[in-house]
Amino acid sequence: MTAKANSSPETADSTAKENTLNVDAQFLSRGEYRKGGLPENSNSKDEDFAAFLMERTRLIIGYERPYLDAKISIQHSGVWGQSGKGTVNLYETYVQLKAPIGLFAKIGRQELAYDNERIIGSDDWAMAASSHDVGKFGYEGHGHKVHLILGFNQNAENTNGGTFYQDGAQPYKSMQTLWYHYDVPRANLGVSLLSMNLGVQNDEPRRTHFQHLAGTYLLWTPKSWLFEGSYYRQFGRSEHNLPIKAWMASLKMKYTLNPQWCFTMGYDYLSGDEFYYVRGQGQAGLVRHKEMRGFSTLYGSHHQFYGAMDFFYLSAYADGFSPGLQNLYAGVDYSPIKGLTFNATYHYLATTVSLEDFNRSLGHEFELTANYKFKPWGKLSAGYTLMVGTDTMKELKRTSDSGRLQWVWLSLNVTPRFFSAKW
């Protein structure tokens, strides 16, 4: 998917209603049962499962008129019974100025979602989701889209003490991103180019190191087919001042047989760090790396890639390095009636670098999901995932002794509109 278009406003006559105000809400609840999924954070064997209920509530106020959009989104997210009653924050708050020739400027806290959201996405599966404090400037028209995104973060309005940034709301000190997209006329082909420069800081010494990403994303949809491909390289310096030399590539193919059946298959390759050291349970040890070769997926919507259990790229490996990942997958969608879809997906997972005393295979993941949109404002979803892991998987991600990890979830998402007016 590409970034949402910013349509140019039409010239209003003297009788047109130029102002629109909408007040919307989201009530999202999800219950989960986990026997595995994410690394274990305790050695206790009293219970080898976890169960909990989560929720997200948003109140969204949107205003539009020619040449101006504004939005305020207040969000609460947390776990039922959580100490402190969860988190309340401003999820989005921005103003967007537009010109009739396709130029725009969007300033403030906002979601960023580009292409298939592998590198920059809203991460909507996470209850807190993801938004950025940035200025976005661009042009959209005649099949071309150009976005320039600029961010500079600080903890407080200091009058002294420099500009060191730590434990803030954003994972970077500064960001400069340029995204270009072109829709090729009459070819059902979209081409995107992405370039990012990120400033990250560390404690000692207090310095800013800059890491870079550059790559491309292609989407081609001839008739009943969909072909998707991406390639990205990372370079520059890490926050610990190590040189970065990492890359990733992905391919995806989808075929829609008819309105009921759809088939998907694909492959992801993410580079890993050479001489990755596998620490056994309770052991200590560290390889002194001269460079970082493990690819970072940065600010993408991680849950929709690399297996639903989120073992990879949502949680870090020990010591901050990565053995990389190969993800070979195939799936099928079935829609028996309007609004109801079933999906079954299989993943074969492996590291990309060789490991001393362990093979590369991480295991097999089987996923079943169902989605039922019973009203335009309501959707019920459910899923079951089984991970059959290997000894390599257990050591790398500190999973339980059992090689069969399970995860079950049920979700209700209701998005009513409370108020709408035009004048």
pLDDT tens-place string over residues 191-207: 999 999 999 987 667 78
Architecture in CATH of 98-414: Beta Barrel (2.40)
Using an 8 Å Cβ cutoff, are 230 and 215 in contact? yes
CA geometry: angle at 247 spanning 243 and 251, to 5°? 170
Using an 8 Å Cβ cutoff, are 274 and 352 in contact? no
Question: DSSP for 347-416?
Answer: EEEE-SS-BTTB-SEEEEEEEEEEEEEEETTEEEEEEEEEEEE-HHHHHHHT--S-SEEEEEEEEEEE--
In terms of pLDDT, which residue wins out, 159 or 69? 69
Q: Give the separation between CA 262 and CA 271, rounded to whole angstroms.
A: 30
| Closest-CA residue to 94 (of 135, 122, 56, 57) | 135
Alpha-helical regions (H) of 129-254: none
Cα separations (Å) of 223 from 50, 187, 260? 45, 11, 16
Using an 8 Å Cβ cutoff, are 326 and 307 in contact? no
Lowest-confidence region among 24-38, 88-102, 125-139:
24-38
Percent of the chain with pLDDT over 90: 69
pLDDT tier, 382 (very low <50, low <70, confident <90, very high otherwise)? very high
* Tokens (6 digits) for 253: 């193919």
Contacts 24+ apart (CB under 8 A), 331-336: 331/263, 331/264, 331/265, 331/367, 332/261, 332/262, 332/263, 332/264, 333/261, 333/262, 333/263, 333/264, 334/260, 334/261, 335/259, 335/260, 335/261, 335/262, 336/260
pLDDT number for residue 315: 64
Tokens 């005393």 correspond to 357
Facing residues of 214 across strands? Answer: 195, 233
pLDDT number for residue 12: 45
| Closest-CA residue to 361 (of 385, 386, 392) | 392
Using an 8 Å Cβ cutoff, are 9 and 67 in contact? yes
CA geometry: angle at 250 spanning 246 and 251, to 5°? 160
pLDDT number for residue 16: 78
Mean pLDDT of 37-59: 73
Using an 8 Å Cβ cutoff, are 27 and 57 in contact? yes
| pLDDT 10s digits, 279-294 | 655 444 556 678 889 9
Query: How many other C-beta atoms lie within 10 A of the C-beta of residue 179?
Result: 24
The residue type of 236 is: G
pLDDT number for residue 284: 45
pLDDT number for residue 161: 67
Helix (H, G, I), strand (E, B) or coil at 114: coil
Confidence check: pLDDT of 174 > 60: yes
Q: Give the separation between CA 213 and CA 149, rounded to whole angstroms.
A: 14
Facing residues of 136 across strands? Answer: 106, 149
The residue type of 383 is: G
CA geometry: angle at 365 spanning 360 and 370, to 5°? 160
Q: Give the separation between CA 95 and CA 89, rounded to whole angstroms.
A: 18
pLDDT number for residue 35: 80
pLDDT number for residue 356: 82
The residue type of 10 is: E
Mean pLDDT of 29-42: 74
pLDDT number for residue 403: 65
Q: Give the separation between CA 202 and CA 151, rounded to whole angstroms.
A: 18
